Chains A and B, each alone.
Chain A
Amino acid sequence: GAGVSQSPSNKVTEKGKDVELRCDPISGHTALYWYRQRLGQGLEFLIYFQGNSAPDKSGLPSDRFSAERTGESVSTLTIQRTQQEDSAVYLCASSSHSGTGGRGELFFGEGSRLTVL
């Protein structure tokens, strides 16, 4: 498709279970971001991938969170042993970076809404 695609759109899980969230970026976009949006709050940076460079993982809130990206394509965000405070909308975005990076705007998916019971 033409836009960023995320799945599942909604996920309800029990506390302690593992979840995987998937993001398909726009074809050709080398940069990929994951953000978390809690109810009534702004966007919290989680992780950033740029091409084959080492990812910027500095926003991951704990070692229960991890993310992978296959080349310049699909990314998965994994949350192990989920807790109720993990409930949020997880947003993925991609961007094309050319030359000196950072000028390009981000294109966001519609998010994966995670509810931990």
Chain B
Amino acid sequence: AQSVAQPEDQVNVAEGNPLTVKCTYSVSGNPYLFWYVQYPNRGLQFLLKYITGDNLVKGSYGFEAEFNKSQTSFHLKKPSALVSDSALYFCAVRDGPYGNNRLAFGKGNQVVVIP
């Protein structure tokens, strides 16, 4: 079954510094990869996805992620973090297109951007 690992519980970064949130995945076929963000007491919001094509994917709010097949990773990055980026970030993977349609989520990473 597909799974995701987000190894760090919390990521602290100073405002204006680069932000990286790590994600590695495991699937039997080709991965469909997603990043979501959750602000306090809210549902999850979609940030970006990798399905096929260019390994560097750009998404909402200046975020991007790089798909690395050899390292089975899909790390989320932002060149210059804002205080408003403080939130819970989830990586997710689906075993597509011929696997089951379940979207498996990681445990999430709390990002704290320090002013």
Seen from chain A, the residues whose Cβ lies within 8 Å of a Cβ on chain B are 4, 31, 33, 35, 41-43, 45, 48, 50, 56, 58-59, 91, 93, 97, 100-103, 105-111
Contacts and interface: CB of A to CB of B under 8 A. Distances in A.
A107 B44 CA distance: 8
A35 B105 contact: yes
B105 A102 contact: no
Nearest to A42: B107
B104 interface: yes
Given A31-B101, A42-B107, A42-B108, 19 more contacts: A42-B90, A42-B106, A43-B105, A45-B102, A45-B103, A50-B101, A91-B44, A97-B101, A100-B96, A100-B97, A101-B96, A102-B96, A102-B101, A103-B97, A105-B46, A105-B49, A108-B36, A108-B45, A110-B42
A30 to B, nearest CB: 11
Interface of B: 32, 34, 36, 41-46, 49, 51, 90, 94, 96-108
What is the predominant secondary structure among interface residues of chain A facing chain B?
A: loop
Contact of A103 (B36, B45, B51, B99): B51
Nearest to B45: A108
Contacts of A56: 100-102
A17 to B, nearest CB: 24
Contacts of A106: 34, 36, 44, 46, 103
A25 B108 CA distance: 24
A7 to B, nearest CB: 13
A42 B49 CA distance: 19
A108 B44 contact: yes
Contacts of B107: 41-42
Contacts of A35: 105
Nearest to B48: A105
Contacts of A41: 107
B28 to A, nearest CB: 14
A107 B43 CA distance: 9
B102 to A, nearest CB: 6
Contact of B46 (A42, A59, A107, A111): A107
Contacts of B106: 42
